[in-house]
Structure 1
Amino acid sequence: MKRTFLALMGICLVSLSLHAQDTTAFKPVEYPDGFTSQLNVVYAKAKDWEGKMDLYLPPKSAGPSAVVINIHGGGWNKGSKESQTGFSTFFKMGFAVANIAYRLTGQATAPAAVEDARCALIYLIKNAKELNIDVNRIVVMGGSAGGHLALMAGLLGNDHRFDGNCPGVENIKVAAIIDKYGITDVWDWGYGTRITSRSAERWLGDKAKDRKFVASVSPITYVNKNSPPIFIVHGDADPIVPHEQSVELHKKLKELGVETEFITVEGGEHGKFTKEKNSELNKSIVAFLKKLGIAK
């Protein structure tokens, strides 16, 4: 009995050790003097799950600030907000940053992640005065699955179909979306003739073959002439998310007269761009936001 107890204790200690390593594997976000941080702020709840975000806020003396909501990728089934640390481009522009976590496939299937992205946006709108945020200068950004969620959060506008966990806010809008190689057509990614992924089917769960539902969680469905401006970047050698998905999104935006910029990274894989190219992309993002009057 004693040996069994000691063995169980050993397993628990190893598990705790591994968990500690997981949570300390990423460097903390470095932010400028005068900024303040609020970590693990609860923006939504779903049963026993708490949606948390890390906030990095500029000095209030500068007046209400623009904010970028950052959403990590990982095929909706992995990843963490702690892996996201490179916000210096936005800090230099005086932006606040809201870096969010959301429910992964193992916790809840679609549309849970979309619901969470929307709730994070709505939380910032609800608490804009307290956080000193300018609701007219909200940008949503993400890469891969995070790009998909950024598009969904912004393109839904005042369509409240996924807002059941955070009702009561109207006039929901974002000033711009930054989509980095995001999934725009979930059905195509799961079952199309190009690059496909089992991540789509797993995330869709029991709705995996419901084409109407899959369309409802696909950003391309919601593009219209009133859509917010969208900056798109995608490598043309992406082996995970088809470059053509971004091509088709950009084409539809242009046809409808929506402000958009699309940068194709020649030979670029799935977010694996050179340091020089990333620097160029950051400059292009800044120029895009300044052109829109979001960055001052």
Structure 2
Amino acid sequence: MSTDNPLTTLYKEIDGSKISTDIYLPQSDVSSPQKYPVVIDIHGGSFMLGHSRMVSILQINDCLDRGWIVLVPNHRLCPGVNLLDGPMQDIRDLLSWTHAGHLDEFLRDQGPYRADLEKVAVFGTSSGGHLALSLGFNVPKPAKAILSLYGAVNFSSPLWRKPLPHVDAKLPTNLSKEFLNQIYDQKPIPTDSSVSLEGQTESGVSKGPDFSKPRDAFAFTQIAKGTVLDAIYPTGITTDPQFGLVDPIRNVGRNFPPTYIVHGQADTMVPIDLSRDLLKRLKEEGVLCGMTEVPGEEHTFAAMMQVGSRTWWLQREGFDFLEGVIGKGPR
């Protein structure tokens, strides 16, 4: 299957939002149905930006080479819905949709592919890393293994309230509150945006945000001002100092799935100390875990790395970890 033209199906519809997932299938030389591990790949975008085509095709190809079925879902974007009821619930519903056999129903007309429901793993970048980790707690059947690439965790850290001057410097000076708040008028709640935090656009060309669009302007304003949590956190529980319903680090227990972390040491948007905090918590609970720190890399490096580079090989250690848990698919 060409990664330029994945299969697509709806997995959820709510309040007019039609939520789809892309499906990538590995090459297969078998004729009879075989079970393949499933890996969910969740895009980044600070919970407010991006869509399913804004992920690293290099990472998808690596997964396919390992014989895995890859699902790349969309989810509703904040702030029209909050983090808990929107992105987290949508991704959890995708996992339930898969475990309920609906992926297999879709695949029956696509060749010998069947989902091995005992081997469903997940990874994601940035906010997608957080959503990947959210499949490790408060779900009926957690993911088998999790890979977080510079994922958003430890929301009680003061680092989440820290303004980012290098982002603020890119913002126009004439962004009014009325203009920014147009984002709340988008109905049904969108599941895609024209640009992601990773830098990709709908055409795959890397460029910056379009500040003439309320969503781009709103998202980057929150990032610049250190107010992302105010924009996405569930209404009515903002006084919760531990972010207990949404923060993976507050929900790590001994039964948490095996988890690996990859993070750039030069990350100025989600500082690496946040992932180090998560690693410490995982180790305290005796969870099978590990972490690779990538020297010199900023946030969103997965979108710009080249196959064969040092960064490529280092981040690939996370996928090797997943393979150590779910194995390879049939050849």
Letter aligned with residue 115 of structure 2: I
Between the two proteins, the alignment pairs up a number of residues equal to 250
1:148 matched to which residue of 2? 130
CA distance in 1 between partners of 2:323 and 2:298 (Å): 28
Structure 1 residue aligned with 2:298, among 248, 269, 274? 269
1:126 matched to which residue of 2? 100
Structure 2 residue aligned with 1:95, among 55, 68, 73? 68
Structure 1 residue aligned with 2:322, among 282, 286, 289? 289
1:21 matched to which residue of 2? none
Distance 1:45 1:293, change over 3 A: closer
Conservation of the 8 A alpha-carbon contact between 2:44 and 2:129: yes
1:209-228 aligned at under 5 Å gives the runs 209-211=238-240, 214-228=243-257
Identity %: 27
Using the TM superposition, give the Cα deviation of residue 291 of structure 1 relative to its aligned residue in structure 2, in angstroms: 2.5
Distance 1:292 1:73, change over 3 A: same
1:226-265 aligned at under 5 Å gives the runs 226-265=255-294
CA distance in 1 between partners of 2:73 and 2:158 (Å): 24
Using the TM superposition, give the Cα deviation of residue 237 of structure 1 relative to its aligned residue in structure 2, in angstroms: 1.6
Using the TM superposition, give the Cα deviation of residue 187 of structure 1 relative to its aligned residue in structure 2, in angstroms: 3.3
Distance 1:105 1:175, change over 3 A: same
Letter aligned with residue 83 of structure 1: M
Distance 1:107 1:66, change over 3 A: same
CA distance in 2 between partners of 1:191 and 1:278 (Å): 26
Which moved further from structure 2: 67-76 or 102-111?
Answer: 102-111
Using the TM superposition, give the Cα deviation of residue 191 of structure 1 relative to its aligned residue in structure 2, in angstroms: 4.9
Using the TM superposition, give the Cα deviation of residue 272 of structure 1 relative to its aligned residue in structure 2, in angstroms: 2.3
Residue 216 of structure 2 is aligned to residue 187 of structure 1:
no
Relative contact order (C-alpha < 8 Å, sep 6+): which is higher?
A: 2
CA distance in 2 between partners of 1:146 and 1:82 (Å): 13
1:51-102 CA distances to partner (integer Å, 9 max, x unpaired)?
Answer: 1101123447461101111111111111111112331001101100110000
Distance 1:110 1:290, change over 3 A: closer
CA distance in 1 between partners of 2:127 and 2:158 (Å): 11
Which moved further from structure 2: 89-98 or 200-209?
Answer: 200-209
Distance 1:293 1:209, change over 3 A: closer
Which runs of no fewer than 5 residues in structure 2 stay unpaired? 108-113, 165-222
Taking structure 2 as the reference length, what is the TM-score of the superposition?
Answer: 0.69
Letter aligned with residue 47 of structure 1: D
2:311 matched to which residue of 1? 278
Residue 13 of structure 2 is aligned to residue 45 of structure 1:
yes
CA distance in 1 between partners of 2:284 and 2:290 (Å): 13
1:10-61 CA distances to partner (integer Å, 9 max, x unpaired)?
Answer: xxxxxxxxxxxxxxxxxx8248xxxxx421x111122111211011234474
Conservation of the 8 A alpha-carbon contact between 1:207 and 1:214: no
Conservation of the 8 A alpha-carbon contact between 1:66 and 1:96: yes
2:142 matched to which residue of 1? 173
Residue 33 of structure 2 is aligned to residue 65 of structure 1:
no
Structure 1 residue aligned with 2:235, among 201, 206, 209? 206
Using the TM superposition, give the Cα deviation of residue 194 of structure 1 relative to its aligned residue in structure 2, in angstroms: 9.2
CA distance in 1 between partners of 2:298 and 2:142 (Å): 31
Distance 1:194 1:62, change over 3 A: farther
Q: Which has the larger radius of gyration?
A: 1
Which moved further from structure 2: 284-293 or 254-263?
Answer: 284-293
Q: Secondary structure at the match of 1:82?
A: coil
CA distance in 2 between partners of 1:201 and 1:190 (Å): 14
The alignment yields a C-alpha RMSD, in angstroms, of: 2.5
Conservation of the 8 A alpha-carbon contact between 1:190 and 1:199: no
Higher helix proportion (structure 1 or 2): 1
Conservation of the 8 A alpha-carbon contact between 1:229 and 1:260: yes
Using the TM superposition, give the Cα deviation of residue 219 of structure 1 relative to its aligned residue in structure 2, in angstroms: 0.6
Using the TM superposition, give the Cα deviation of residue 189 of structure 1 relative to its aligned residue in structure 2, in angstroms: 6.4
2:188 matched to which residue of 1? none
Distance 1:57 1:272, change over 3 A: closer
CA distance in 1 between partners of 2:287 and 2:237 (Å): 31
Distance 1:246 1:177, change over 3 A: same
CA distance in 2 between partners of 1:182 and 1:189 (Å): 16
1:113 matched to which residue of 2? 87
